[in-house]
Amino acid sequence: MEVIEAQKERWFNLEEERVLEKTGANLKTGLTTPEAEARKKKFGANVIPKRRRKTPIELFLQQFNQPLVYILLIASVITAFLNEWVDSSVIFGVTLVNAIVGYLQESKALKAIEALAKAVASDATVLRDGKKKRIPASELTIGDVVYLQSGDKVPADLRLVQVRELQIDESALTGESVPVAKQTKPIEADAVLADRSNMAYSSMLVTYGTGVGVVVAIGGETEIGKINQMIAEADELETPLTKSIARFSKVLLYVILALAATTFLVGVIRGNEWVEMFMAAVALAVGAIPEGLPAALTITLAIGVAKMAARNAIIRKLPAVETLGSASVICSDKTGTLTQNQMTVQEIFAGGKRYAVTGAGYEPKGEFERNGQPVEVGRNKALVETLKCGTLCNDSNLVSIEGQRRIEGDPTEGALLVAALKAGFERETLLAETPRIDAIPFESERQYMATLHESQSLGGNVAYLKGSVERVLEKCDKRYGETGESLPIDADEIRREANDMAKNGLRVLAFACKLFPTTQRALSHQDVAQGLVFLGLQAMIDPPRPEAIDAIAKCHDAGIDVKMITGDHELTAKAIAERIGIVKNAETASVVNGKTLATMSDDELRQVVKTTSVFARVAPEDKLKLVKAIQQNGDIVAMTGDGVNDAPSLRQANIGIAMGVAGTDVAKETADMILTDDNFATIEAAVEEGRGVYDNLVKFIAWTLPTNFGEGLIVLIAVVAGLTLPILPVQILWINMTTAILLGLMLAFEPKEPDIMKRPPRPANEPILTRELVIRIVIVGAILCAGALWAFEWALLNGRSNEEARTIAVNVFVFGEMAYLFNCRSMRYSMFRLGIFTNPLLWLGVFLMTFLQVLYVYVPAMNVAFHSAPISAADWGVALLPGIVIYVVIGLKKYAQYGWRAAS
């Protein structure tokens, strides 16, 4: 007995005898208990291995390991050093809230492997010591003989040795849209996962029939176990936003520390007291730190999350909101995302004529047309009999659940029921008129199903048969005519019609019948081996979602490449891709299948993904390879998926998108975003929202940094020039915290700009601080600094006290920011082009900030806390003037760069 040392064999390629020999299995007695125990010690338990996870404390502390958070913590310490406990608490509170939110989001993301472990079946029927036993699936081992029946979850990877009409739903593993009919013969060694019909894979559901299989892989060596390993090994990439913020934060941290140190050293060299210079350095650091940025980042992303939820997209990880806006490639599954996941009959050939059937999905709404004109079904008796045959030779049911039509049974049979209903034929009525007597269930080896019925109208019994075109044609010697007459059959004509339908990606079934005397009460294969009358063909497909067609067109307009990656057949994938606009011509479009992918080198694959948009019959590892290859070309990848097989590629993608309705728990737990309607159009809508979120983040950064630059610059100039500080650290904190909350955050509510989906995707390596943005920051910061210095010196020259002069300088910054806020509503358009009142919350912020600033100037308690003082009307005029200058200068800059239409 040759018991294998490893579970790496190509079991699907071996004859049954070799499988039994290599595994040491015995179909008559099964394993003995001692032998099973010995093998369990050797091969381990049939469970998905668990990997060490970060502890909750490690996860929480990790949230503080970011440069921007370092800056915030420094700001909190500095303000505490200045005895500004309220400000220190607020800054630290923002940091703490950010850490808590990040911890909660990330802790959810690590549940994917746990969900996989739970997916393994809990019990199995096994042959041990010559007896059938029900044991925990975890106790199965190599060589066990397992029994399967309808409703079972496959407990391990099995090589099937006996089947009776066995069908297994493998959609979660292979993406195959219909249950797979199983058989026991060996398969080619290079067959892809979806084509290994003699295997039953762990955690897949048996939908029909019975079978016996030998356990050939358990636990981590099963296909689902390998996926678990791929999930663990897949790189969880940083988002473009987190990369940009990290780079920006590091630069900002070094610049702030360098300027603060320079300020301190220059002051000491000039002979100033070191304590005084230390406070000046602290003032510069506090001024340069954008305390409101992390809060603005979190809140803007959270607003994006809420907007996406309203459009059926649930975000599990905040940065994913912005990542969608950066996506340059969307890799989508076909079934249920680009299509409706409802098989639909679209063409029928009967009585020598071809008909189109309108309508889509399981709602029985539609017409029968010929040459674009509606026809009356009853005029063609062959058409009537073809529809009746499809309804009576059928084991599925069309039911209504919560107002939605659903199929109980095979989707293909469901499509036949709906087609008949469109012609007015209800299954219950037909069964009452022609009761079923007997049936031959579908078997993959024979490729047909047949049923026997009583028929008073025909004066005897009738057998209806449906199956593959070739298998049905070989049994027929006549065909049913349009008026019901029996005519000679032209098999070549029927094959031409079937092939023409198949070229369009349609799945074609043939239908036939045979009359029997009333004494015929049973049906055998021999009874339907010959002498049948051909009735017609019905061709069906899972139709594309109409909204997906428009969404793909919008994606292309936005410079986003859409790729279809499916487990379905090449012809079907190509036909759907043409219908929805992924490819222009199905005949000339290239489709790469799983077999071809397996032979490609990494360099070849990187080139192929640049030019190919359709990938068919792919395995889980193929999806992962494809995503990595696209990323290596510098693209930001969004990947959709619903099955266990999609989890590794969902994790590897820059943003993983799981299906909320049809998706498995594993896919949902791994993904960054979940679609509650499983609709590709929702992805396009989410991309649009993501771009809007990033736009608003850039607007906030463009608005807040000039203030920090101006505040730092004014402190540096004052120290170098030996001047009195125009603004104090506590006043800088007042400016930064109040304006960030009441003014800057209002930009998060700015509506999306009209051309947002006409722009190309943002380059993955584009920094937040682009050249244009830096120029604007310098211009506005310089005007704020110069305006505040001028106003401060003007006030002192005109006899104002230090407190009054500083109050005027503070107002220069506040109202300068307020004026600049209207420039920042768009980096290109003016507020008049956008609509003055399209963001009412911005006006509310302006009103509240103005009210607070009046309190700052005139309320005695505020004067004491912030060293401010009441000022005159003339002083207000001086304070407001720089803001007007900023608005005009930036408006002119927009005009010079984009023209009058954009800037006006």
Reply yes or no on whether the pLDDT at 350 is more than 80. Answer: yes
Is residue 146 a contact partner of residue 212, using CB atoms and an 8 Å limit? yes
Reply yes or no on whether the pLDDT at 324 is more than 90. Answer: no
Is residue 833 a contact partner of residue 822, using CB atoms and an 8 Å limit? no
Q: Where are the alpha helices (DSSP H) in 347-426?
A: 381-392, 411-422
Which residues does residue 565 pair with via DSSP β-bridges, in sequence order?
615
Which residues does residue 182 pair with via DSSP β-bridges, in sequence order?
none
Q: What does the pLDDT look like over 435-459, one tens digit per residue?
A: 999 999 887 778 899 999 998 877 8
Of 296-300, 323-327, 592-596, 787-791, minimum mean pLDDT range: 296-300
Residue type for position 528: V
pTM, full prediction: 0.69
What are the φ and ψ backbone dihedral angles of 543, each rounded to 5 degrees? -75, 150
Going along 528-636, which residue ranges are E strands? Answer: 532-541, 561-565, 591-593, 614-616
Query: If you average pLDDT over residues 631-642, what whole number do you get?
Result: 89
Q: Tell me, letter by letter, the H, E, C secondary structure of 71-101.
A: HHHHHHHHHHHCCCHHHHHHHHHHHHHHHHH
Q: In angstroms, how far apart are the furthest CA atoms of the chain?
A: 121
In percent, the amount of the chain with pLDDT more than 90 equals 43
CB atoms within 10 A of CB 33: 11
Q: Which residues of 384-408 are buried (b: 16+ CB within 10 A; e: fewer)?
A: bbbbbbbbbbbebebeeeeeebebe
Tokens coding 328: 């340059």
Bigger pLDDT: 84 vs 445:
445
Q: What does the pLDDT look like over 190-205, one tens digit per residue?
A: 888 888 999 999 888 8
pLDDT band at 50 (very low <50, low <70, confident <90, very high): low
Reply yes or no on whether the pLDDT at 113 is more than 50. Answer: no
Tokens coding 690: 């993501």
Query: Which of 856, 825, 828 has the alpha carbon at shortest distance from 840?
Result: 825
Give residue 30's pLDDT. Answer: 93
Tokens coding 468: 């593959």
Distance separating alpha carbons of residues 35 and 645, to the nearest angstrom: 33
Give residue 487's pLDDT. Answer: 95
Q: What does the pLDDT look like over 523-546, one tens digit per residue?
A: 999 999 999 999 999 999 988 888
Distance separating alpha carbons of residues 898 and 120, to the nearest angstrom: 60
Sequence-ordered list of residues with C-beta below 8 angstroms from that of 299, at least 6 positions apart, any chain:
745, 748
Question: Across the chain, what does the average pLDDT equal?
Answer: 85
Which residues does residue 167 pair with via DSSP β-bridges, in sequence order?
181, 208
Reply yes or no on whether the pLDDT at 240 is more than 80. Answer: no
Distance separating alpha carbons of residues 641 and 332, to the nearest angstrom: 7
Give residue 295's pLDDT. Answer: 66
Q: CA dihedral defined by 690, 693, 695, 699, rounded to 10 degrees?
A: -170
Residue type for position 83: N
Query: If you average pLDDT over residues 216-244, what whole number do you get?
Result: 72
Highest mean pLDDT out of 64-78, 346-360, 447-461, 615-629 = 346-360
Q: Which helix (H) or strand (E) holds 243?
A: helix 240-269
Q: What does the pLDDT look like over 121-155, one tens digit per residue?
A: 468 899 999 998 889 888 999 999 999 987 788 99
Is residue 463 a contact partner of residue 531, using CB atoms and an 8 Å limit? no
* 695 assigned to active site: no
Q: Read out DSSP for 665-702? A: HHHHHH-SEEETT--HHHHHHHHHHHHHHHHHHHHHHH
Task: State the burial class of residue 890 (Cβ atoms within 10 Å of its Cβ: 0-12, 13-18, 19+).
Answer: buried
**Whole-Å CA distances, 319 to 237, 300, 331, 585, 814:** 11, 10, 19, 37, 30
Radius of gyration of the chain (CA): 36
Sequence-ordered list of residues with C-beta below 8 angstroms from that of 574, at least 6 positions apart, any chain:
505, 583, 586, 589, 591, 614, 616
Sequence-ordered list of residues with C-beta below 8 angstroms from that of 886, at least 6 positions apart, any chain:
780, 783, 784, 816, 819, 820, 823
Packing angle, helices 771-797 and 680-721, rounded to 10:
40
Give residue 4's pLDDT. Answer: 46
pLDDT band at 633 (very low <50, low <70, confident <90, very high): very high
- Among candidate residues 87, 144, 333, 542, the one labeled active-site is 333
Is residue 683 a contact partner of residue 667, using CB atoms and an 8 Å limit? no
pLDDT band at 770 (very low <50, low <70, confident <90, very high): confident
pLDDT band at 6 (very low <50, low <70, confident <90, very high): very low
Query: If you average pLDDT over residues 162-179, what whole number do you get?
Result: 80
pLDDT band at 177 (very low <50, low <70, confident <90, very high): low
Give residue 250's pLDDT. Answer: 73
Reply yes or no on whether the pLDDT at 95 is more than 80. Answer: no
Q: Which residues of 759-798 are buried (b: 16+ CB within 10 A; e: fewer)?
A: eebbebeeebbeeebeebbeebbebbbbbbbbbbeebbee
Distance separating alpha carbons of residues 818 and 744, to the nearest angstrom: 9
Give residue 220's pLDDT. Answer: 84
In percent, the amount of the chain with pLDDT more than 70 equals 89
Q: CA dihedral defined by 418, 422, 427, 430, rounded to 10 degrees?
A: -150
Highest mean pLDDT out of 230-234, 546-550, 699-703, 802-806 = 802-806
Reply yes or no on whether the pLDDT at 229 is more than 90. Answer: no
Sequence-ordered list of residues with C-beta below 8 angstroms from that of 372, at least 6 positions apart, any chain:
none
Reply yes or no on whether the pLDDT at 73 is more than 80. Answer: no
pLDDT band at 322 (very low <50, low <70, confident <90, very high): confident
Q: What does the pLDDT look like over 382-428, one tens digit per residue?
A: 999 999 999 999 988 888 877 778 888 788 999 999 999 999 999 99
Q: What does the pLDDT look like over 860-901, one tens digit per residue?
A: 999 988 889 999 999 999 999 999 999 999 999 888 887 765
